[in-house]
Amino acid sequence: MCIYCDLWGEGTIWYLNPKNYPRHMYTLPKKSSTPRAAVGEADPAGYINAEKALVDALEKGPEEFEQALTQLRGMMDTAQGCIGGWMGQAVPLRDAERMVEISNPKGLIGCICRKGMLGLEERTPADMTCMGLGVGMFKWERWPERYKGGVHWVSTEEAKEWLRDLDRRGFMHSLMMFGPRFIGGICNCDYPACDALAMRLDFGFNMLKGHHVAVVDYDLCNGCGICVQRCQFGALKMNVTQDKANIDHMRCFGCGLCETGCPRDAISLVPRVEFPALKEVW
Amino acid sequence: MIDKSQLKIPTPVPIDLTKLPLKLPRIEIDYEKCTVPFWCKKCIQGCPQIVFQVYCKKLTKLQESDPREPGVYEVKAVRRDKCNMCMKCVEICPEGAITITYQED
């Protein structure tokens, strides 16, 4: 079980437990408080400086690196309430669709990672690649001039269609936690434009692996290689000797992109817990 | 309250700590020349390795930050570990604000 299922799962996968969506007594910032950034953008300077310090520590030595890593993880722990810096988790398309069924309201917003790392301003619904879930989104509608592009409300069916469309384009879905026990959004990530994913793959924190791993059926696989192109984690390689796709389960995040992209339905998602050695690989 | 000492928090570090310290290129940005990075965006979008990140430095309550106002946004060379010194950012910068150096042994 992942740490969050242990804590907040209550017998199911934690993101399928409706109790983890409404942030109880959601508060708006007080009038006297200093200007605050958008949700997930809390103190961008602090986060960017900590991230820069982590890279700078690579030049200093292993002790300094571990110290910087602990500091960054601790910062996310206190700022976002995510334990040990684990802020998000990879979610397959089918679970993302169940999440939008549970949560209300839902609004499309511009992605803050792509704004910072690629300079993209996603101002129209067609460009938006991030979805906010729950009551926190009312804040975005209230001050559209404050939060760039505002928010575009969607129904459950529209949200599912939007998720499927991004899945077709090859975005990997993940959930994001904005506060303790509060799932606040579904991100659609790719490397390296997604900061969370880049941090996870390069420095090993920020995004937990999902609850599934992908398995290839060698009888159905024809070696077309589409899944290899879609994998963001380098878990899929072409097994050239046998002309089949091969999945490294130690690297697989269970995002399900290979499953949804496979034209022959040769790939299926299997719960991680069915493999005893993968139980603690998160 | 959560007792964090009782939790088994996963801590994978995919970096080979025995190889540290690494030697990375030094990227200096002259902030007197670079004032409107989010309006210009050339280095952010031109870098093939996505080394640079831009963030809003000056937040005004209930107002969208104007990317054309000098000093509101700031660009930082965060992911220097990815820099391969292709020098595209140095060539592309209209203000000539970026310098990259690498100290050889």
Does residue B21 have a cis bond before it (omega within 30 degrees)? yes
Q: Domain ranges in chain B?
A: 29-98
CB count, 10 Å around CB of B14?
A: 11
Per-residue model confidence (pLDDT) at position A32: 47
Distance between CA A66 and CA A123 in Å, rounded? 39
Indicate the residue type of A93. Answer: L
Q: Look at domain B29-98 and name its CATH class.
A: alpha beta
Give the largest CA-CA distance in chain A. Answer: 66
- Of B55, B51, B53, nearest to B88 by C-alpha is B51
Contacts A280 to B, Cβ<8 Å: 8, 10
CB pairs under 8 A between A and B: 121
Nearest to A52 among B4, B21, B76 (CB): B76
Query: Exposure pattern of A237-261 as b/e (b: 16+ CB <10 Å)?
Result: eeeeeeebbbbebebbbbbbbbbbb
Distance between CA A278 and CA A101 in Å, rounded? 29
The answer, for A204 touching chain B at a CB cutoff of 8 Å, is yes
In total, chain A counts a number of residues equal to 282
| pLDDT tens per residue, range B61-103 | 667 778 899 988 999 999 999 999 999 999 999 999 999 999 8
Q: What Cα–Cα distance (Å) separates residue A211 from each residue in A118, A197, A208, A269?
A: 30, 17, 9, 9
Measured in angstroms, the CA of A220 and the nearest CA of chain B are apart by 33
Per-residue model confidence (pLDDT) at position A85: 85
Q: Do A58 and B12 touch (CB under 8 A)?
A: no
pLDDT tens for the 282 residues of chain A, in order: 788 888 888 889 999 998 888 775 555 555 544 444 444 445 667 788 888 999 999 999 999 999 999 888 888 887 777 888 888 999 999 999 999 999 888 999 888 888 889 988 888 888 889 998 888 787 777 666 656 667 889 999 999 999 999 999 999 999 988 877 888 899 998 988 888 899 899 988 889 999 999 999 999 999 999 999 999 999 999 999 999 999 999 999 999 999 999 999 999 999 998 999 998 888
| Token digits of residue A13 | 């996968």
- Of B70, B65, B66, nearest to A36 by C-alpha is B65
Distance between CA B35 and CA A237 in Å, rounded? 44
| Whole-prediction pTM | 0.88
The answer, for A48 touching chain B at a CB cutoff of 8 Å, is yes
Distance between CA A52 and CA B49 in Å, rounded? 15
Higher pLDDT: A19 or B5? It is A19
**CA-based nearest residue in chain B for residue A35:** B61
Average model confidence (pLDDT) across chain B: 88
Q: Do B76 and A208 touch (CB under 8 A)?
A: no
CB count, 10 Å around CB of B51?
A: 24
Per-residue model confidence (pLDDT) at position A44: 64
Q: Do A83 and B76 touch (CB under 8 A)?
A: no
Sort strands A172-177 and A183-189 into parallel, antiparallel or unpaired: antiparallel
Nearest to B55 among A6, A45, A208 (CB): A45
Per-residue model confidence (pLDDT) at position A40: 40
**Selected residue of A48, A207, A248 to mutate for chain B interface (largest B Cβ count, 10 A):** A48
Q: Are the CB atoms for B57 and B7 separated by under 8 Å?
A: no
Q: Do A35 and B57 touch (CB under 8 A)?
A: no
**Selected residue of A1, A67, A80, A117 to mutate for chain B interface (largest B Cβ count, 10 A):** A117
Phi, psi of A239 (to 5 degrees): -80, 90
Q: Do A117 and B50 touch (CB under 8 A)?
A: yes
